[in-house]
């Protein structure tokens, strides 16, 4: 089926814009894990300071860019203050999340003032996924309603670059919604990432819990997570004192405190054990 979406061009006679895209040339989708990783409170930060917001946003993107550097199958799609991360395997997704969360946690731990401290969290899902960069050139040129888009017109357009920044998957929505249930510096797993991967060959299986603790199995990451929880408590307590000034509602602070206590609870229990 031909969909009206393509390189922009003007008809010589009507000066109208015509678009072309033929979805029959899309590659076959494959099941992938998708994480939506979001900087918390970026809107309020933007209202206060562009410099502080820029530090938060670019450090988040830098952390994930570095984390995926040696993981060729992992792809990142930045979206302002967040990033979609895709991976065909559970192991690679776990690795990139652990690495990025560790670096962002260290950044958070080393900040002495709450105005320079920025929390983040993520939602994780699984579903059929298409990457724009995998779409063949032939999808972008052809004839539609009597108007022809040629291969040369496509090559002269910006769509070759645009498609590299496009990812399509129902899991994107599920991951975005799951992120809302995640604790500060935590990862909430949608049911799709627990069940569907078991039916898809080569994924490594699904996640077992709705809360994935990114430090699992790594002692260095576990040590960072322990220090991180103390800093989260410090941040939430300070924010509660200045709730109106930082535009962080007390009911949201209390909710995030409860979530963080549950998420990092195992670390606290271990510290108290003889």
DSSP class per residue in the chain: -EES--S--B-TTT--B---EEGGGPPPPEEEEEEEEEETTHHHHHHH-HHHHHHHHHHHHHHHHHHTTT-TT-EEEEETTEEEEEESSHHHHHHHHHHHHHHHHHHHHT-SSGGG---EEEEEEEEEEEEGGGS-GGGG-EEETTEEE-HHHHHHSSHHHHGGG-EE-HHHHHHHHHHTTPPTT-EEEPTHHHHGGGGSTTS----SSSEE-TTTT-HHHHHHHHHHHHHHHHHHHHHHHTHHHHT--HHHHHHHHHHHHHHTHHHHHHHH--
Report how far residue 160's alpha carbon sits from residue 162's, in angstroms, rounded to the nearest whole number: 6
Average pLDDT of the segment spanning 262-270: 77
Per-residue pLDDT at 86 = 98
pTM (2 d.p.):
0.87
4 or 179: whose pLDDT is higher?
179
Share of the chain above pLDDT 70, in %: 91
Confidence at 77, pLDDT banded by 50, 70, 90: very high
d(CA 121, CA 130): 24
Q: What is the pLDDT of residue 273?
A: 40
Per-residue pLDDT tens for 188-247? 999 999 999 988 899 999 999 999 999 999 999 999 999 999 999 999 999 999 888 888
Rounded Cα–Cα distance for residues 128 and 170 (Å): 7
Looking at residue 193, what is its pLDDT?
98
Question: 147 pLDDT exceeds 90?
Answer: no
The pLDDT of residue 78 is above 70: yes
Choose the CATH number for 28-130+168-272 among 3.30.70.1230, 3.40.50.300, 3.30.2290.10, 3.20.20.10: 3.30.70.1230
End-to-end Cα distance, the chain: 66
> What pLDDT was estimated at residue 269?
55
pLDDT, averaged across the chain: 89
pLDDT for position 10: 44
Examine the pLDDT at 1 and tell me if it is beyond 80: no
- Tens-place pLDDT, residues 5-60: 445 444 444 434 567 899 999 999 999 999 999 999 888 888 888 988 899 999 99
Q: What is the pLDDT of residue 272?
A: 44
Could you report the per-residue pLDDT of 79-94, keeping only the tens digit for each?
A: 999 999 999 999 999 9
> Which pLDDT score is estimated for 18?
66
Task: Report the distance separating Cα 256 and Cα 184, nearest Å.
Answer: 7
pLDDT score at 257: 96
Report whether pLDDT(109) > 60. yes
């Amino acid at each position: 089926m031909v969909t009206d979406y393509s390189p922009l061009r003007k008809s010589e006679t009507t000066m109208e814009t015509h678009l072309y895209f033929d979805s029959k040339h899309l590659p076959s989708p494959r099941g992938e894990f998708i994480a939506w990783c979001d900087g918390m409170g970026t809107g309020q930060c933007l209202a206060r300071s562009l410099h502080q917001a820029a530090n938060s946003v670019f450090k988040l993107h830098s952390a994930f860019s570095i984390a995926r550097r040696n993981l060729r199958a992992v792809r990142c799609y930045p979206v302002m203050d967040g990033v979609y991360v895709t991976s065909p395997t559970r192991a690679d997704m776990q690795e990139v999340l652990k690495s990025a969360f560790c670096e962002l946690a260290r950044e958070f731990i080393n900040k002495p003032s709450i105005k320079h401290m920025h929390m983040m969290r993520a939602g994780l899902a699984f579903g059929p996924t298409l990457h724009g960069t995998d779409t063949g050139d032939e999808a972008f040129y052809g004839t539609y309603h009597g108007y022809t888009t040629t291969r040369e017109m496509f090559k002269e357009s910006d769509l070759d670059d645009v498609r590299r920044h496009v990812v399509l998957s129902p899991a994107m929505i599920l991951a975005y919604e799951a992120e809302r249930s995640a604790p500060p510096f935590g990862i909430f797993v949608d049911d799709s990432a627990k069940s569907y991967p078991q039916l898809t060959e080569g994924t490594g299986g699904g996640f077992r819990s709705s809360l994935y603790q990114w430090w699992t199995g790594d002692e260095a990451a576990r040590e960072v997570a322990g220090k991180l929880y103390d800093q989260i408590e410090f941040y939430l307590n300070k924010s509660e004192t200045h709730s109106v000034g930082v535009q962080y509602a007390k009911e949201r602070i209390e909710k995030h405190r409860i979530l963080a206590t549950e998420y990092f609870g195992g670390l606290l229990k271990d510290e108290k054990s003889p």
